């Protein structure tokens, strides 16, 4: 089963806007994806409640797992998203 380890790049962690963007991308993925902290239980990546409960902070590592056709590409895309500061990238212009 393909996996990716990624360090959270959003300065606020997976909270509020970054979490919503990640969940939206995971929900649109062609395969089911789970996310977990090292040693933790995997949670569905398309669940806002599960992502918020994960409590992943800036600089912490999480592991993404997927299975099925397109899993490798899906994990690459989601890992790249998590490694980005999503809060800064989505702020409204002043």
Catalytic residue among 15, 22, 46, 75: 15
Alpha carbons 21 and 71: distance in angstroms, whole number: 19
CA dihedral sign of residues 53, 83, 25, 18: positive
User: Is 15 assigned a catalytic role?
Assistant: yes
Given pLDDT bands bounded at 50, 70 and 90, which one contains residue 93?
A: very low
**pLDDT (tens digit per residue) in 19-65:** 999 999 999 999 999 999 999 999 999 999 999 999 999 999 999 99
Domains and CATH numbers, the chain: 3-89 (3.30.1340.10)
């Amino acid at each position: 089963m393909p996996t990716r380890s990624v360090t959270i790049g959003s300065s606020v962690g997976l909270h509020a806007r970054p979490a919503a963007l990640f969940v939206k991308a995971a929900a649109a993925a062609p395969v089911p994806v789970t996310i977990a902290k090292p040693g933790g239980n995997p949670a569905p990546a398309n669940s806002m409640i599960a992502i918020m409960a994960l409590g992943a902070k800036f600089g912490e590592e999480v592991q993404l797992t997927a299975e099925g056709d397109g899993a490798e590409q899906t994990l690459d895309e989601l890992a790249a998203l998590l490694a980005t500061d999503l809060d800064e990238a989505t702020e409204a212009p002043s």
